[in-house]
Amino acid sequence: MLYNVVEIQKILPHRFPFLLLDRVTDLAKGEYIEGYKNVSISEPIFQGHFPDHPIYPGVMIIEGMAQAGGVLAFKSMDGATQEEIENKVVYFMSIDKAKFRAPVTPGDKLVYKINVIRNKGPVWQLDAKAYVDDKLVAQAELKAMIVDK
């Protein structure tokens, strides 16, 4: 384990119920990150999606992958202090080539694997994939920018 949820909250501004990354298990600055979210039936999203057939929404998977990418971007900022990180935020610029390959349900461990395609200054282009039990369940190309709050 590299970062638990408490440490992730020092990097990202997201909080319950919208913090969608429980743990970071591997990270190489400027290259890739791996982390996961444990999907639980107690999450508020399942009250409406869908009460009799709970499916974790694809947009939440995309957001979780983006949050993992945000941790990667922040941790790749050489020489950045905790105060500098706290005064920045990552904004989505685009989501391309999104595909949802299998449903994610309560009890699943959703593993995010994010690789850097390109980084130029504050702009990050990422190849994002999500897995359950080593099966690809979602993928997308994400573009984001680190900006001042």
| Rounded Cα distance, 105 and 15, in Å | 22
Q: Could you tell me how far CA 142 lies from the centroid of its own chain?
A: 11
| Rounded Cα distance, 149 and 141, in Å | 24
| Helices marked H in 52-142 | 58-75, 82-86
The contacts of residue 81 (CB under 8 Å, 6+ apart) are none
Residues in the chain: 149
* Coil, helix or strand at residue 74: helix
Asked whether the CA dihedral 86, 92, 93, 98 is positive or negative, the reply is positive
Q: Is 49 among the catalytic positions?
A: yes
Catalytic residue among 9, 19, 32, 49: 49
Catalytic (active-site) positions: 49
